[in-house]
């Protein structure tokens, strides 16, 4: 019962003439709450819920058909939880299943995944286009995000995914599952999910590109000593990878490839680089003439952190003089290092846009270029058009670290810098471009590889 006096209000529980102390009442209430918590099933965490889960209480499970115009709309229907689309014989058919969600907050990270089956087995990279369209108030730097990671399972089903992060100003999201440009194909979207995720840690690599050139007549020994001093400087900065120039030991000495070539591993230069790589726990990439009897290649050697040979890349595009006595490379490979996938090109290779593009198609994230001379604008263009990091170490062109939009992040050359261009490159950094979107995400989804076949034809 409730009693009032001049100084306080007392809450008392009575049973007959007995009174319970206040402490007992509090303990009893706490006990009741604990029991209720134990007996109440825990609700599923919102962070694990699929925001695109099929909702049987809504038409089409919560999805709606959409097309820019009825005359190019695909045929669209549902089969249980599957969303079906077909081209109706229209060469440039275009339409999508669409679903809108609100309550999205800036900074939210989502894992977006779509499972699709096509019949016949079409060019899914071009004709199937899952994407995220942000809803809210923002500028031209915020544009749709494509799902660009494609993988095919053993039973022929495509799994398409992307991790996305909601931008500032967002209030909602529109999920679009497009079919386009295939007259006779049918696609079945068999699953779609959008779940709260954890942003993946960014992979950062500390890159050093060395520049040095002798001012007086040189020898192989003085060249190697001078470059090794700069390798020490780069290694002491904690570099993950150190890049040296094209056959650097012969600068100012001569270009007789056969005379200066050495076997790898086994030669003295490789042994010296191996020791430096182990000392500084770094990769070293350097240019040299490599002998593989009876042939000699203009090559780039990759030494791993343990001082072992990781790979040899042989220059593919030889100049007129080189082509007389040197073996050309026959492939344009990528290499998986412990920080990411890399490519290597050498000097004249960069004159041709095809080789840098091959490396991009193969997934290179950073390309290392031992080079003698070249054009800085070409270097920046190669980085930008392929949306990867680009690192040069040269003589008649600067040693540089260039980001995927063509901006020079570090540079040293002649009287500029201290001989080491050093930068910590973020391989997961995003580069939004107004009206277009995140550079690599947009450009690579918009490619149309089936039209590029003539690139391998002989000039007419």
* Same domain, residue pair 235 and 158: no
**pTM summary value:** 0.86
Residue 127's domain comprises 49-196
**Residue 315, burial from CB neighbour count under 10 angstroms (0-12, 13-18, 19+):** buried
The band of 23, judged by pLDDT with boundaries at 50, 70 and 90, is: low
Q: Which of 1, 412, 104, 60 is nearest to 230 (CA)?
A: 412
* Same domain, residue pair 263 and 376: yes
* Same domain, residue pair 100 and 167: yes
Q: Residue 2 pLDDT more than 70?
A: no
CA angle 331, 336, 337 (to 5 degrees): 125
* Same domain, residue pair 126 and 239: no
* Same domain, residue pair 110 and 218: no
User: Residue 73 belongs to a domain with what CATH number?
Assistant: 2.60.120.260
* Same domain, residue pair 24 and 78: no
* Same domain, residue pair 370 and 237: yes
Domain boundary among 196, 223, 240: 196
* Same domain, residue pair 252 and 354: yes
The reply to whether 222 falls in a domain is yes
The reply to whether 458 falls in a domain is no
Q: Residue 45 pLDDT more than 70?
A: no
* Same domain, residue pair 263 and 399: yes
| pLDDT tens digits along 215-265 | 888 999 999 999 999 999 999 999 999 999 999 999 999 888 999 999 999
Domain boundary among 168, 196, 224: 196
User: Residue 211 belongs to a domain with what CATH number?
Assistant: 3.60.110.10
Residues in the chain: 460
Q: Residue 33 pLDDT more than 70?
A: no
- Residue 245's alpha-carbon distances to 346, 369, 445, in angstroms, are 9, 8, 34
* Same domain, residue pair 411 and 382: yes
The reply to whether 442 falls in a domain is no
* Same domain, residue pair 223 and 188: no
The reply to whether 451 falls in a domain is no
Total of domains in the chain: 3
The reply to whether 448 falls in a domain is no
How high is the mean pLDDT of the chain?
89
The reply to whether 329 falls in a domain is yes
The reply to whether 433 falls in a domain is no
Domain boundary among 196, 216, 237: 196
| pLDDT tens digits along 337-350 | 999 999 999 999 99
The reply to whether 353 falls in a domain is yes
* Same domain, residue pair 378 and 396: yes
Where is pLDDT greater, at 356 or 127?
Answer: 356
- DSSP letter assigned to residue 262: B
């Amino acid at each position: 019962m409730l009693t009032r006096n001049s100084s306080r209000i007392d809450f008392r529980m009575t049973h007959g003439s007995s009174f319970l102390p206040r402490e007992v009442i509090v303990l009893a209430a706490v006990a009741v709450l604990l029991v209720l918590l134990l007996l109440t099933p825990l609700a599923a965490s919102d962070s694990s819920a699929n925001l695109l889960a099929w909702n049987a209480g809504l038409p089409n499970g919560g999805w709606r058909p959409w097309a820019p115009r009825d005359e190019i709309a695909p045929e669209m229907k549902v089969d249980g939880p599957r969303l079906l689309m077909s081209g109706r014989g229209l060469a440039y058919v275009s339409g999508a299943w669409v679903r809108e969600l609100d309550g999205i907050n800036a900074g939210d990270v989502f894992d977006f995944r779509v499972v699709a089956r096509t019949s016949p087995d079409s060019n899914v990279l071009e004709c199937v286009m899952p994407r995220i369209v942000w809803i809210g108030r923002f500028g031209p730097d915020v544009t749709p995000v494509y799902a660009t990671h494609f993988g095919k399972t053993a039973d022929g089903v495509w799994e398409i995914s992307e991790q996305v992060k909601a931008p500032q100003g967002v209030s909602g999201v529109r999920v679009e599952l497009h079919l386009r440009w295939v007259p006779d194909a049918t696609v079945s979207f068999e699953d779609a999910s959008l779940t709260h995720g954890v942003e993946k840690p960014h992979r950062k690599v500390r890159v050093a590109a060395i520049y040095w050139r002798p001012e007086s007549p040189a020898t192989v020994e003085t060249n190697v000593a001078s470059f090794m001093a700069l390798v020490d400087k780069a290694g002491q900065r904690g570099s993950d990878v150190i890049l040296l120039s094209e056959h650097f030991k012969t600068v100012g000495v001569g270009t007789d490839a056969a005379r200066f070539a050495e076997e790898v591993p086994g030669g003295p230069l490789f042994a010296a680089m191996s020791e430096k790589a182990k000392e500084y726990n770094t990769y070293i990439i350097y240019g040299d003439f490599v002998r593989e009897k009876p042939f000699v290649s203009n090559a780039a050697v990759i030494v791993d952190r343990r001082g072992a040979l990781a790979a040899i890349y042989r220059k593919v595009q030889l100049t007129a003089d080189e082509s007389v006595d040197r073996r050309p490379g026959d492939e344009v490979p990528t290499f998986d290092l412990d920080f990411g996938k890399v490519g290597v090109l050498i000097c004249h290779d960069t004159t041709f846009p095809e080789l840098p593009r091959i490396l991009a198609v193969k997934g290179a994230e950073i390309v290392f270029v031992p080079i003698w001379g070249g054009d800085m604008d070409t270097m920046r263009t190669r980085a930008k058009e392929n949306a990867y990091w680009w690192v040069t170490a040269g003589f008649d062109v600067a040693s540089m670290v260039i980001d995927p939009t063509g901006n020079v992040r570090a540079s040293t050359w002649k009287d500029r810098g201290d001989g080491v261009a050093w930068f910590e490159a973020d391989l997961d950094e995003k580069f939004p471009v107004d009206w277009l979107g995140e550079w690599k995400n947009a450009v690579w989804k918009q490619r149309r590889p089936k039209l590029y076949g003539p690139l391998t034809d002989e000039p007419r």
